[in-house]
Amino acid sequence: MIMNLRTSKAKLSMLVERAAAGEEVVITVRGKPRAKLTGMGQMPHPIPDRRWAEELRVLQKKYSRLPRKGSRSVLDDLREDRFE
């Protein structure tokens, strides 16, 4: 499918759907091809690397000076500040 830029702006959602279905869309400017819209195909799902989370936990434990408070105690402290 070939479409000019002005029309493609108005119909971008439709063009994306068609490209995702496997159709190739060529966008022209003043009659000259300038861009091609194609589908992504199957994207592999990478396994997330969780090592950074463990390193962060170790650093938090190492450099934490104050005891951790739960969210309820933090909210209670904030409420007390309002009424003083």
| DSSP sequence for the chain | -EEEHHHHHHTHHHHHHHHHTT--EEEEETTEEEEEE----PPP-PPP--HHHHHHHHHHHHH--SPP--HHHHHHHHHHHHT-
Model-wide pTM > 0.85: no
> What confidence category does residue 10 fall into, taking pLDDT thresholds of 50, 70 and 90?
very high
Q: Are the CB atoms for 3 and 25 separated by under 8 Å?
A: yes
Look at residue 40 and tell me whether its pLDDT is greater than 70.
Answer: yes
For domain 2-37, the CATH class is alpha beta
The pLDDT, as a whole number, for residue 18 is 93
The pLDDT, as a whole number, for residue 29 is 94
The pLDDT, as a whole number, for residue 36 is 95
The pLDDT, as a whole number, for residue 31 is 93
